[in-house]
Structure 1
Amino acid sequence: MFINLIEIYETLKKEYTIPEGWWPGENQFEIMLGALLTQNTNWNNVVKSLENIKNKNLLYPEKLYVLDIEELQKLIKPSGFFKVKAKYVKNLLEWFKKYDFSFEKLEKIDKITLRNELLSVKGIGKETADSILLYSLNKLSFVIDAYTKRMFSRLGLNIKSDYDAYQKFFEENLPENIMIYKNYHGLIVEHSKNICKKKPLCENCIFKDLCKYNKGA
């Protein structure tokens, strides 16, 4: 089945109101850190962890780098798996230190190099790496998650159900526009949380006339 990504994007935009750029965060480092902490938890728990860090005036890569790991564990405990995630945060900061904790330096490096480096950091998978690249570093790297696969497989997208295949499809069929990339992923998340759930609310869906799942195909 042919999937027109731009038509779907425009339909989602009419249905949902999201902030431009979607991902919340006061600065690039908060977005980077949030992208890691959101692994295997909901965003509200991440917010609590980030607030703990802010309340201690520690939302700076240089400060978290030297912070005792046990103290870091306490601060990020609300986001779950806090002992493992504290190690992952330290791993990410060790990588970032090579660039003197400078986002300006990171932004001068090409996407492929950065992505490969991020994926070499223990604790950083494809979704986390692409979230950092897109939302923190403004690189054109479309984020794929379980919501994306569920929604588009139901719509009838017939491609291999793995991360790389989905990302390739989106990046080959979308204009190279950073805000479309950012907002599209956010709109998919909103639609999947509200309508295209594990048990979908098909009767209320803006795509019910298009969706193969709703038609019982």
Structure 2
Amino acid sequence: MRRRLRGMRDEARVRPMRGKRERLLREMYVAMHGRLGPSGWWPGETPLEICVGAVLTQNTAWTNVEKAIVRLRDAGALADGRTLLSLPEAELSELIRPAGFFRLKAVRLRNLLRFLDDACGFDFGVLAGQDLDDLRPRLLEVSGIGPETADSVLLYAVGLPTFVVDAYTRRILHRHAMVPEDITYHDLRDVFMDVLDPDVPFYNEYHALIVRVAKDWCRARGPRCADCPLCPFLDGGAA
């Protein structure tokens, strides 16, 4: 009985905290969106291009990814998934050279393409009809596909409600004393998904706004706190 009462008291304390976090996250979204407007993410003409971009953007700037995608497009390699998968690995590596780590990324991209071919024959509508909690673990089993890449594919290419977090998300929330600096990917993802309703357009736009704020204001060095859209939520400025 005592254990049960203790559990009930713990749950009673958690509920207000969850409600407070939901309000804070929604207010932060409103502040960012009100200042910046719609983001129009993810860059990519097709779900296939979005998947390619999600792999190529690992450890590199998006400007480098764009150069690689243009080379793939000009070569006709993005006509469909099987065309891209049929490219010899050496040729694929050369086409994506601007993205950096091009040999490793060619292997990882081909791994993802094989998964997509086996799972849905590159019909992303088939994936969209699957259960997120079933599909996500299977995608994470693909060699070279980590949580951030997997969630980017699932949210932006497939259209399933999973929240994408990254180093920008960690930096902003840590500076606002909302999470520890060493929080894991999945715990950081849960900060959002535990309290926000599953909503693909909302998740899409929220992640995009975080990236924009981190790049323009909440920089790793020399943050511009005074003019940041999230300044009203920050106590004392960034460290």
Normalised to the residue count of structure 1, the TM-score between the two structures is 0.94
Distance apart, 1:37 and its partner CA: 0.6
Alignment partner, residue 198 of structure 2: 176
Long gaps (5+) in structure 1: none
* Residue in structure 2 matched with residue 26 of structure 1 by the alignment: 45
Structure 1 stretches of 4+ moved >6 Å: none
- State the partner residue of 1:53: 72
RMSD over aligned Cα atoms: 1.6
User: 2: CA distance between counterparts of 1:32 and 1:42?
Assistant: 16
2:175–2:238 contact (8 Å) kept in structure 1: no
- Residue in 1 that maps onto 2:34: 14
For 1:197, the equivalent position in structure 2 comes to: 219
Is the Cα contact below 8 Å between 2:52 and 2:109 reproduced in 1?
A: yes
Contact 2:170 2:179 in 1 (8 A): no
Rg larger for: 2
Separation in 1, partners of 2:229, 2:86: 49
| Per-residue deviation, 1:34 | 0.6
Which of 187, 211, 214 in structure 1 is aligned with 2:234? 211
Would the aligned equivalents of 2:72 and 2:95 in 1 still touch at CA under 8 Å? yes
Counterpart Cα distance in 1 of 2:55 and 2:115 = 14
1:1-217 correspondence runs (5 A): 3=21, 4-20=24-40, 22-59=41-78, 60-98=80-118, 99-158=120-179, 161-199=183-221, 200-212=223-235, 214=237
State the aligned residue count. Answer: 215
Q: How far 1:215 sits from its partner (Å)?
A: 7.3
Q: CA deviation at 1:187?
A: 0.2
**Partners of 2:199 and 2:217 in 1: how far apart?**
26
CA distance in 1, matches of 2:114, 2:229: 45
C-alpha contact (below 8 Å) 1:156/1:213 kept by paired residues: no
Q: 1:215 to 1:146 in 2, by over 3 A?
A: closer
Please state which structure has a larger fraction of its residues in helix.
2
Task: Say whether the 8 Å CA contact 2:155–2:204 is kept in structure 1.
Answer: yes
Using the aligned pairs only, state the percent identity.
37
- Residues 1:123 and 1:155: Cα distance change in structure 2 (over 3 Å): same
